[in-house]
A and B are shown apart, each in its own frame.
Chain A
Amino acid sequence: DSGVTQTPKHLITATGQRVTLRCSPRSGDLSVYWYQQSLDQGLQFLIQYYNGEERAKGNILERFSAQQFPDLHSELNLSSLELGDSALYFCASSAGLAGEGSQYFGPGTRLTVL
């Protein structure tokens, strides 16, 4: 158990809909990262938050947004969903801001868009 929790584990929805994925980091970790894993793109970094502030952006679509709350949990919002958004979404946390800390991953949320 990495100590990172993600809900829900599975999500099935229809095209055009909006969903919210939730992540709670390990105790004491201030950084939260979101990654998308798909068959064609592999594991890709989406966005990073550190202590409530956005710190880095990767290949995140404009239809996607995220935030980190004062209790450090984070939510990833996906809107106007398309079939191609079907993927495994991971959240990871680390203690620090940059790469000096190890990143521990949650169990992931498998999103299926029908």
Chain B
Amino acid sequence: AQSVTQLDSHVSVSEGTPVLLRCNYSSSYSPSLFWYVQHPNKGLQLLLKYTSAATLVKGINGFEAEFKKSETSFHLTKPSAHMSDAAEYFCVVSAPGTGFQKLVFGTGTRLLVSP
């Protein structure tokens, strides 16, 4: 069975400092992995996805993530945080389904950015 564990429920950074949101996954298959962002009372927006191509994946708004099979990790990083990055971030693994894409969500990490 597929699962994801987001290691921090909250992360606080200052504007201009690096961001690291940690995610470990478990999968019986070669997984597809995603990071989604959710601003308050909004839907989810895809930041980036890994689907067995390059292990370093670049996404929108300066975010990137590195797939490390040996560590079963898919951590999300950004060199310099901006106030607008404050949101909830979800690490997601795609589970094989019978003809549809079943997503398994982590519990989320709330990113707080202070001036």
Asked if A pairs with B, the answer is no
Which residues from chain A sit less than 8 Å from chain B, CB to CB?
A: none
